[in-house]
Amino acid sequence: MNQPTQLAANDTPQYEVIIIGAGVGGIYQLYRLAQLGVNVTVLEGAADLGGTWYHNRYPGCRFDSESYTYGFSFSKELLNEWHWKERFSGQPENLRYLNYVTDKFDLRKYMQFNCVVSAAKFDDANDLWRLRLQNGRELTCRFLVTAVGLLSAPTPPRIPGMETFEGPSFHTYYWPQEPVELEGKRVAVVGTGATGVQVIAALSDMVGDLTVFQRRPNWCAPLNNGPISDAEMADIRARYDQIFAKCLTSPGGFEHEPDRRGFYEVSREERLALWDKLYAEPGFGIWLSNFREIFFDETANAEFSEYIANRIRQRVKDPIVAEKLIPKDHGFGVQRVPLETHYYETYNKPHVHLVDIAETPIERITPTGIRTSERDYDFDIIVYATGFDAITGSYDRIDFEGVSGEKLRDKWRDGPITYVGMQIHGFPNLITIAGPQSGSASTNYPRGIEVGVDWATGLLQYAWDHGYTRMEATPEAEQHWSDQVAQMYATVLMRKAKGWFTGYNSNVEGHEAGRIRYFVYNGGSPKFRQTLIDMASEGYKGIEFRRAGSNEQKRRPHSDETLSTQTAG
């Protein structure tokens, strides 16, 4: 293997690789590169590592992937050492886990904290990236890897008067690190997505009075969490190979796999039997182990949605409140399904109130609370569970400038365009390991991220082995991939949803409902992985490579024949 530090270049960069972000993706990418002895650093904007699990400290925050399918799979020793205590582990434990992994593999020494990258400009003459941090510091690297997360650009709402509120108010992503005094307090939560559903149920046992401001309800299903005993953990350890093998072959990177029987081939009784079983089981089975027609067929989806609606009616005592909690504008599973713990029962508690702001919209935040079109509410604390500028938001917050001065945020203004979600024409030497349109974005995140990181590491190794200092997706390969990703939306009901999978966010200019953004790869994780394997074995077709100081281009033309064998199935 060529040592990456031996590359011939016109200008020697400080680092061979810079990774932006010390979350799940950044930690694994760092591990792989540190193992290879690469001159690498991680720049993390926060004061410590953990990404999502560092920031989101709100009560109730936890996995809704099974803990043992969320952990890293790369080290047998680590798998044998770590004991997951809950089937769906909570944020404090998840952060401890990421710290444990980092320390075990001695990765902290490569990490630099409080380093917010504000700009990254490609130096075309020297094949390197020049980064500027918020504090003015400048760094250079040959290859830049973004591990910036999918949901790390939080978006508070745009409501007049927010700055006038006299008590504490914060977005869930910025839940304070120091304890928040909640006992006896009057608390408002705005937003009922996956975060809202978790924080509302948890807060209801901690506060004096809780008012939920809901604009559109989501279809939620029980998480059915529970502890993992020593004996169960020993069994999981013995089955880890099997568990990860199953995750590799399932479309979502989970143990849950779709029911292969046709929705219409079985009787209504058989459908109900499956749904009763899935509703009582832990995790995403209710979504991912269901009949596949739920995702594609309006009639099948409507029948199942009505089943879930009846479950909500059974669980919420007040029929008027129950109806408000049942989505009427979309069917089950076309938006990301929040998994909940006693969420619906929360509304049976006398001190919990639901305000339907589709009926009585919020007009402004006042110094003492929230004013709707109907009345004023007084609060001690306001919590905004209003979501994220998903997937491209964290890219837009960095001023990426590629060849010829092209800005990434301009290129992606109407939606991302990428090659396999990890390469961008016009932005050489940039690897977006869980970028838009990659397989990682729509799967059990760490399973997807391991696929992305392994591919990225192979690509870098290939460049080093051949002495290449520059790599860039061809425009043809990029267009072809993005067209395929868009085509995959044509068959799924999700294309109609107002959710982050289609780029909707009412608080981000240009992302209000209307224009669909093809953010996620809907072909399933096995197909994505196979595409990457084939591409690597064929010399990374669709990517052009070049050596510094040489005009010789090793052109690997994009082959329509091979790529067009992929379909949306």
Contact set with ligand NAP (CB under 6 A): 62-64, 151, 157, 159, 190-196, 198, 215-216, 336, 357, 385-388, 500, 506-507
For residue 284, which amino acid is it?
F
Identity of the residue, 79 or 382, whose beta carbon is nearer to ligand NAP in the bound complex:
382
Nearer to ligand NAP, 120 or 159 (CB): 159
C-beta separation of 192 from 321 below 8 A: no
Contact yes or no for 389/508 (Cβ under 8 A): yes
Q: Amino acid identity of 510? A: G
Nearest CB to ligand NAP, comparing residues 183 and 509: 509
Nearest-approach distance from CB 1 to ligand NAP, in angstroms: 38
Minimum Å distance from CB 153 to ligand NAP? 11
Q: What is the DSSP letter of 88?
A: S
Q: Which residues contact 127 (CB under 8 A, 6 or more apart)?
A: 9, 10, 142, 428, 429, 469, 470, 546, 548
Q: How far apart are CA 191 and CA 156, in angstroms?
A: 10
- The residue (of 62 and 558) whose beta carbon lies closer to ligand NAP is 62
Nearest to 504 by CA among 489, 494, 493, 514: 514
Instruction: Provide, rounded to whole angstroms, the least separation between the CB of residue 379 and ligand NAP.
Output: 15
Smallest distance from ligand NAP to CB 182, Å: 19
C-beta of 387: minimal distance to ligand NAP in Å? 3
**195 vs 457, which CB is nearer to ligand NAP?**
195
By beta-carbon proximity to ligand NAP, the closer residue of 193 and 393 is: 193
For helices 298-315 and 268-280, what crossing angle results, to 10°? Answer: 50
Cβ closest to ligand NAP, residue 189 vs residue 548: 189
Residue number with CB closer to ligand NAP (18 or 61)? 61
Q: How far is CA 174 from CA 55, 83, 154, 242, 370, in A?
A: 6, 28, 9, 38, 20
Phi, psi of 384 (to 5 degrees): -100, 110
Tokens (6 digits) for 335 = 């938006």
Q: What are the φ/ψ torsions at residue 540 (nearest 5 degrees)?
A: 55, 55
Min dist. Cβ of residue 532 to ligand NAP (A): 23
- CA 403 – CA 497 distance, rounded (Å): 35
Give the per-residue SS3 of 412-466: CCCCCCCECCCECCCCCCEEECCCCCCHHHHCCHHHHHHHHHHHHHHHHHHHHHH
CB of residue 500 vs ligand NAP: minimum separation in angstroms? 5
CA dist., res. 556 & res. 566, Å (int): 19
Based on CB atoms, which residue is closest to ligand NAP, 170 or 462? Answer: 170
Report in angstroms how near the CB of residue 196 gets to ligand NAP at its nearest.
Answer: 5
Q: Return the residue nearest ligand NAP (CB atom).
A: 193
Least distance (Å) between residue 345 CB and ligand NAP: 19
Nearest residue to 148 (alpha-carbon basis) of 57, 18, 251, 248: 18
Least separation in angstroms between CB 388 and ligand NAP: 6
Q: Which CB, 216 or 324, lies closer to ligand NAP? A: 216
